[in-house]
Amino acid sequence: MMIIQAVKKYTNKAGEEKSFNTQIGTAFLNKDGSYSLKFDYFPIEPGAWIILREKTDYAKPQPKNEDSF
């Protein structure tokens, strides 16, 4: 089982670009290697990212680099 997250970017009052993740659903691995996605919510904001992540990685800090959120 994997979690589905939406990432939203915003600019805080200090003018810094920030982002936050919100769990929006769950993904289940099928026997053929594909995934079934169950969404509890679906982002409608233009430019929103959807990330599929191993559930065990949810609590671990993610490394920061230029290409990640």
> For 24-43, what is the mean pLDDT?
93
> For 12-29, what is the mean pLDDT?
93
Answer whether 0.95 is exceeded by the pTM.
Answer: no
What does the pLDDT read at residue 15? Answer: 94
What does the pLDDT read at residue 11? Answer: 92
Phi, psi angle pair for 18, to nearest 5°: -130, 170
* pLDDT > 70 in the chain, percent: 80
Q: Where are the beta strands (DSSP E) in the chain?
A: 2-11, 17-29, 35-39, 49-54
Q: How confident is the model at residue 54 (pLDDT cuts 50, 70, 90)?
A: confident
CA atoms of 58 and 53, how far apart (whole Å): 7
Q: Which amino acid is at 15?
A: G
